[in-house]
Amino acid sequence: MTPLVFVHGFMGGSEQWEKQLDELSKEYKLITIDLPGFGKNNQLPAINSIYSFSKWVIAELKKKNIKKYHLLGHSMGGMIVQEMVRTDSQNIDKLILYGTGSLGILPGRFETIMHSKTRAKNDGASETAARISATWFLDYHNSIAYEGCSKIAKRSSIESILAGLDAMSEWSGEQNLKKLENKTLIIWGDQDRTYLWPQIEILWKNIKNSNLSVIPGCAHAVHLEKPEIFNKVIKDFLNSV
């Protein structure tokens, strides 16, 4: 069975995939990654480039003796998996780009990367994690899933927060999209405040072998806001011929 590898986004962690592990692990082998500086790997040195993140994930998979795999990347993790496809394409089967884009400067985001950096330096890691993670949900702090997600985000050090923002702002994968040959699923919540529709449209129109799933009434954390629909879309995609 080809495993599905989950790569979380900025200030995320492996524990955020609990609702996917509960359901999808009944049919698939799932592998969740904690990126350096985040989640359970928050003690590791921060990484400040998307390419370096991608190299690290590939090395981790090799340590686990994972050869052929499906790959899902969320948000910043979606940028990382786009880089992984460039260097490890022979081992990657199906690709899922979820709540992400090809422009790391995040045009149209709820605030600019530079503004986030300035506020992070002034407010500190914990307050930054609480504030930004709230924007991932349609109902902000009132979302049922907010507390758990915020708790994971608060493990991020100020060093990893600033490094992650730098990594995104200095990256672009738009020039490589037409070279991407993997069968690809693009998932987007229609109220996402981080990646607006133009980012999604660029992916959909430039990746030749792609399908698009737009989930209504969700922001940036579809997998937590509407996990049943999210899981069903993933299963349909992985089971498709």
In angstroms, rounded to a whole number, what is the distance separating the alpha carbons of residues 105 and 102?
A: 9
Question: Which CATH number is associated with domain 4-239?
Answer: 3.40.50.1820
Residue 62: CB atoms within 10 A of its CB come to 12
Residue-wise pLDDT for 217-235, tens only, equals 999 999 999 999 999 999 9
Per-domain residue ranges of the chain: 4-239
Q: What is the pLDDT of residue 241?
A: 78
| Alpha-carbon distances, residue 38 vs 32, 41, 108 (angstroms) | 13, 5, 25
Judged against a pLDDT cut of 90, whether residue 106 lies above it is answered with yes
Q: What is the pLDDT of residue 227?
A: 98
Under the banding of pLDDT at 50, 70 and 90, the label for residue 75 is: very high
In angstroms, rounded to a whole number, what is the distance separating the alpha carbons of residues 55 and 50?
A: 9
Spatial CA neighbour of 74 closest among 110, 100, 37:
100
